[in-house]
Structure 1
Amino acid sequence: MARDFRVILVGHAISPIRGSEPGVTWNWAWELSQHVPVEVFAFPQYRKEVEEHLAENPNPRLKIRWVTLRGFDPWRPEKGERGIRLHYLLWLREAYKVIRELTASTDGPVVVHHVSWGSVSAPPSIPQGLAAVWGPVGGGQAAPWAFRGFFGREWLGEAVRAFRVKALPYLPWWRQGVASVSRILVTNRETEVLLRKAGARNVLPFLDCGTPKGFGLSKPPNPKGERVSPLRLLWAGRLEARKALPLALRALARLQVPVELWVAGDGPLRADWEAEARRLGLEDRVRFFGRVPWVQMQELFRSTDAFIFTSLRDSFGCVVLEAMAFGLPVIVPDHQGVGTFVPNEAGIKVPVTTPEDTIGGFARAIEHMALDQEARNRMALAAWRFAQEERWDKRAERMLNIYEELLHDAHCHL
């Protein structure tokens, strides 16, 4: 179907060979440009990677506008993240200044879509009169107070962050930014509630993660027979406080059924959590792999039976979707992004109440996965099907439908 509009994407970082924010911006740009002209406003941190890719894969519908700060810039990418937040706010102001000039001097339907950063704390400043989308955004979630003991000395920072997020709806500049957007896409219930407190109306749930076409299993997972060896359970992520790996370790320590836990990732708490596994008597049941290259990570997905996610604060957790693409049933907390999006039939959602009860919930979920192969097969199929619907090409089609609705609404109000 022919579409006669163009899209302006605002994404601070963009790269065809990276994950996180750069990868999100790139995937939106590339997939949307298969259907409509797309112009991306980005900071040139990864300009070489983008231009090399486009030289090898020309795309006449995709144009990149590199926006830099004139004069003072508090951030030096080669020196880490110091100053990046102020840099980003200054960069946003510069990017939208150029967008205002561009849209004022051109004709034809335009949709402005702010994709990155996907943080609820930094709303865009959309030029008046333009159809605009913000998101998917997260950040409205907070770590549960009852679990503060899992954070140690980091809890003060978590508490300050939670207070700052709760204060957002009372800040005039934030409310003004929220009001400038026609549609806001959110990655979890907590962020939706926060935005609605500021008066946002057109808020839609929309996952911030996607998988490339051909990623994971190409066909539905085959039903498995009874396992002879222990259930292989995979956990993956950065070993930092908010990821709360000890929830899985303490759950495993309560079980007598044969289960192995494979841990992929590195971080500041690796030594502490390895020591906790030894303290719990899990030396023979928990295997720490350290940081795993992406190709080897895919092999871990293929070599395990189920995936467990324990994060106490996350917009969603893209590794959950990646595991589902490989047909792994999942065990997740029933809160935030995973609680919002993971289908009930694709895994087990554990209520987040108190540490004691939640650890017990994880233990029961692991035991169920280990003992009921038939149920695990059903969950594996549902997980794979969900991941197929979150392929980037299908996500782009859904986004184009949102754009068309916006433009239709704008036309009806003229």
Structure 2
Amino acid sequence: MRVAFVSFETVHHRDTETNRRLQSILELVRDRGHEVHHFCCAFWGGGHDVFERDGVTYHGVASSLDSKSAFLLRLPLALSAAAPDVVHVGERPPEQVVAASVGGTLARAPTILEWYGDGGVADGWWTRRAAGRPDRIVAPSNLVATWIRELGIGGDAIDVVPNSIDLDRIQRVSPDDRVDVIYARRLDEDANLESLLLALAELRDRDWRATIVGDGPERATYERLASDLRIDDRIEFAGDLPLEERIAAYRGAHVFAQTADHCVFPTEMLWALAAGCIGVVEYHADSSAHELVEGWDRGFRTTSEDELTDAIVAAGDLEHREYDDRFAEFDRDVVRDRYLTAYRALQESSGFL
């Protein structure tokens, strides 16, 4: 199958959650042996319109990020010339969704819209027009699917497909030292780490240790808060760690705490839960993290710091694990097969086969 991915900006331009999501899907499809083309703004030098890297053919429809208009104008014909079986487009900018759907029509290929929703879903004219153009929309969580439905899109047109993890990789990594609580996220204005620190401070008369994984502009603020709360001697701020080291830390930890204000899909939490952690989630309206622990006997959903404290204590009574096969549906092979099945179904339903 020949799959055309479309995003004006790529992970090679800027490392964002939205760009990483599309890149990860692209790699899943490529690794199954399908022919993958990515239509984007050129990120390579040499003045070549086509660039090969790691089994992917990149098409520089525009020469720079200042050439968005040229990208939109050239995209339909570029897609038509490539004759893909499926067009898979990211949601930003929304104008590219319209251009990609025109290209898909010219190429007689269905269009699927990957709507990750990082940063929310803006209710604008182009956004609404883009939402109505593809044959199918994919969101990472029920939270984002709800945002899309609020634009007037019927729920039957939206599939929820999570970010994927590699369960085999988890089992290959040896557990790190035991800690009671672990938190992992970029330490920015949405991290809301203070909720966890305040909850842990209520437990200063108990024996516990915690690890904070991640770095960011608010790290110094959180380190000062831990010192002010007189719990800094029990908390390690580990900074950014490679994935292998994060997995090892999760396999050694007992509880993973998720308190961030905004999260369209809690990928780090998913790695931790599959690595055996108990999940303790502070509910927020703009976070989907609670979706991973609903109806699960090793997950706690809280709405206040007092409840967060109680959940951490209650989690201490549950057994320590280093792996949990409950999360098999999130494995990369399963998620990839969901996309490939969707591609084939779209081809059949659109009559392009």
Q: TM-score, normalised by structure 1?
A: 0.69
- Corresponding position of 1:215: 169
Say yes or no: does 1:261 pair with 2:206.
no
- Corresponding position of 2:190: 242
Tell whether the 8 Å contact from 2:280 to 2:311 is kept in structure 1 after alignment.
yes
Return the alpha-carbon distance in structure 2 between the equivalents of residues 35 and 273 of structure 1: 45
- Corresponding position of 1:363: 309
Say yes or no: does 1:274 pair with 2:223.
yes
Return the alpha-carbon distance in structure 2 between the equivalents of residues 334 and 27 of structure 1: 27
The CA deviation at 1:311 is 0.4
Say yes or no: does 1:112 pair with 2:87.
yes
Tell whether the 8 Å contact from 1:123 to 1:178 is kept in structure 2 after alignment.
no
- Corresponding position of 1:81: none
Aligned equivalent of 2:42, options 41, 44, 51: 44
The CA deviation at 1:35 is 4.5
Structure 2 counterpart of 1:111, one-letter code = V
Tell whether the 8 Å contact from 2:213 to 2:240 is kept in structure 1 after alignment.
yes
Aligned length: 334
Q: Percent identity?
A: 20
Tell whether the 8 Å contact from 1:211 to 1:390 is kept in structure 2 after alignment.
yes
User: Closer, same or farther in 2 for the Cα pair 1:123/1:192, shift >3 Å?
Assistant: farther
Say yes or no: does 1:30 pair with 2:37.
no
The CA deviation at 1:342 is 4.3
1:396 match: secondary structure: helix
Root-mean-square deviation (Å): 3.4
Return the alpha-carbon distance in structure 1 between the equivalents of residues 138 and 24 of structure 2: 17
The CA deviation at 1:251 is 0.8
Tell whether the 8 Å contact from 2:293 to 2:299 is kept in structure 1 after alignment.
no
Return the alpha-carbon distance in structure 1 between the equivalents of residues 40 and 138 of structure 2: 20
Tell whether the 8 Å contact from 2:282 to 2:301 is kept in structure 1 after alignment.
yes
Q: TM-score, normalised by structure 2?
A: 0.80
Say yes or no: does 1:124 pair with 2:97.
yes
- Corresponding position of 1:400: 340
Return the alpha-carbon distance in structure 1 between the equivalents of residues 332 and 95 of structure 2: 25
- Corresponding position of 2:112: 133
Which is richer in strand?
Answer: 2
Which is richer in helix?
Answer: 1
Aligned equivalent of 2:159, options 181, 194, 204: 204
1:320 match: secondary structure: helix
Tell whether the 8 Å contact from 2:18 to 2:118 is kept in structure 1 after alignment.
no
In structure 2, runs of 5+ residues without a counterpart are none
Tell whether the 8 Å contact from 2:112 to 2:135 is kept in structure 1 after alignment.
yes
User: Closer, same or farther in 2 for the Cα pair 1:212/1:41, shift >3 Å?
Assistant: farther
Tell whether the 8 Å contact from 1:6 to 1:37 is kept in structure 2 after alignment.
yes
- Corresponding position of 1:348: 299
Q: Deviations over 1:202-257 (max 9, x none)?
A: 112121x22246321259x99xxxxxx98521111222221110110111112244
Return the alpha-carbon distance in structure 2 between the equivalents of residues 324 and 45 of structure 1: 36
Tell whether the 8 Å contact from 2:18 to 2:116 is kept in structure 1 after alignment.
no
The CA deviation at 1:36 is 3.1
Aligned equivalent of 2:199, options 234, 251, 275: 251
Q: Deviations over 1:97-140 (max 9, x none)?
A: 44411444566x721111475x8x77722334341111141247
